[in-house]
Chain A
Amino acid sequence: MSYYEIAKECFIDEINLDTYVELPSSVLAYEELELSFEKPFKLILLYGEPGTGKSLLLSRIMDKKKYQKELHYIDSPLLDEEEFFRRLFNILIQKPMPKNTKVDFNTFVEYCKVIKGQREIIILLDEAQLYPKKILEQIRILSDTGVLRFVIAVHKTTDEDVIAKTHFQTRIWASIELKNATKDELKTYIHQKLLKFNQFEIANQIKQKNIDFIHKVTDGNFRACSKLMYTTFEIYQYYEKHDPSQFSRDKFSQKFLEMAAIATGAINV
């Protein structure tokens, strides 16, 4: 595998806990979430712009707490009621719902009341801004039973207000905001990503000037940054194959970085 291909792999946009980079802000959010798990919460709102690490945070807490708490992670939104009920049945009864069966919503509520005090189930709900209002309303009612507790991750848009205010305002125990990275955090993020794949030399070549540029064009967004870095190494690969005289192996190419920013639409020409 080529030198730059490995570097490229470091920035694949995927939820991979092995390559997770701990940053001060993400540690803080994780600790806040972990602490809330010990409290009698009904709902926790996790919000932030796309690419700030909400899904990664949910995956991480799932991974770390799955043996201590009854946790369920629903990563893709359940858009119709039937699908939602099937999943709910599976979570509550711990068996798949038989075919050709329908369950009334009130049955779930009644069942929750029966098992109250015996089980505490935490459901991590990603991309909650996509759920229909009716399902959100049902989530609110279920959370009132005290058996089902929800961590709801939403994009920081106007919808976030709708979800927070209309449905859950009085039930939200904590609101955790995930923000874009600062320059220092972005630097650590890029270096750590490369170091996880033993790319010391490349990590060393990326200087503050490059970080400043990356931060400027991505606004510190992790996903945008990964995309930019991935494309940069893709360009490196191209030149390595077709015209190696175009770059030096001792210095990180600002030109390729700028080309990647153009290619990904981070800057407009």
Chain B
Amino acid sequence: MYDIPELEKKWRKYRRNRIRKPIIIGLSAIALIGGLSFVALKYLNNSTNTPTANADSNNTTAVAAKSSNSVKPKVQKVETPAMVITKTPINAQMQPKVANIQQQKTTTNSVNANSDDTIDLSNATIVKPNVPDDEIRVIGFDNKEKKEIKKKYQDILVPKQTEEAIREKEELAVYEERFKATQDPQASLYLAKYYYKKGNYEKAETWAVNTNSIDGDIEDSWIIFAKSRAKQGHRVDAIKVLQSYYDETGSAKAKELLDKLRRNIPFK
């Protein structure tokens, strides 16, 4: 026998290593993505600062940005930023604020780029998006719409299954598959017992017949067969089958059930 406490220590170490590995990989991936995003953003910002000479000054909203104390405002025209600020109909009140922030960002960049210059933003312009309002859509459904969809398709929607039901279904599939592949009577007996327990006597009978056809000496299978037959209203059939099984084997269980069937005593 192994030294189990020692083995458990080793297992903890193994577990730690296993957990550590994906964490390290995950963190590395995050760092890499972060780094790449930073580079990409920087690249985008640089593109944003590229001047666009064709901006339409009539179609603008002027925003005055507060410059820092060290940079005193001086009259200098700032060219229109290239970044487009989308005007959304959802929250129109947000627009000036967004524009303001964007403008401040642009200003900061300009200041950093030419720190010796003093900049006046009084004539700064923002380009209005060239997208018609009616093309901006809201994607998704609200609760009312969702309910309506559910109601419409309720006939074809599959009800949610519990985890246990799914597990049971999987198990049954495994046994059925096993029976098909190996003709193992124990697998079919399991299925017969399962369906009997669930009250599906027709299926229980079928699986019991399958079991008996492969191995006719399994007592439980004959009992399940007889019980299933009886539960389906074929009590006489059940008695006949059970009697011949009892005559051949002298099974005590068969005798007990036989007596119950004959006297019409309920059984489980």
Contact = CB atoms under 8 A, between A and B. Distances in A.
Interface of A: 22, 188, 191-192, 195, 198, 200, 204, 231, 234-235, 238-239, 242, 255, 258-259, 262-263, 267, 269
A195 B1 contact: no
Given A235-B7, A262-B11, A269-B10, 4 more contacts: A188-B178, A234-B1, A235-B2, A259-B4
A235 B4 contact: yes
Binding site of A, secondary structure by majority: helix, strand, loop or mixed? helix
Nearest to B8: A259
Contacts of B200: none
Interface size class of chain B, counting residues whose CB lies under 8 Å from the partner chain: 20 to 34
Interface stretch (B38-46, B48-56, B74-82, B180-188): B180-188
A263 B7 contact: yes
A80 to B, nearest CB: 39
A191 B171 CA distance: 12
A262 B182 CA distance: 33
A259 B7 contact: yes
10 contacts: A188-B178, A192-B182, A195-B186, A200-B186, A235-B4, A258-B14, A258-B15, A259-B4, A267-B14, A269-B17
A188 B1 contact: no
B15 to A, nearest CB: 8
Contact of A234 (B2, B17, B178, B181): B2
A242 B7 CA distance: 15
B187 A195 contact: yes
What are the nearest 9 A-B pairs in CB distance?
A269-B14, A269-B10, A259-B11, A263-B2, A238-B4, A262-B10, A259-B7, A269-B13, A195-B186
Contact of B184 (A195, A258, A269): A195
Interface in B219-243: none
Contacts of B1: 234, 238
Contacts of B246: none
Interface in B1-36: 1-2, 4, 7-8, 10-11, 13-15, 17
Contacts of B181: 188
Contacts of B171: 204
Contact of A262 (B7, B184, B190): B7
A21 to B, nearest CB: 9
A43 to B, nearest CB: 33
Contacts of A200: 186, 190
A258 B2 CA distance: 14
Nearest to B11: A259
A198 to B, nearest CB: 7
Contacts of A235: 2, 4, 7
A193 to B, nearest CB: 12
Choose among B7, B15, B184 the residue with the greatest number of A CB atoms under 10 Å from its CB.
B7
A231 B190 CA distance: 28
Interface in B182-229: 182, 184, 186-187, 190
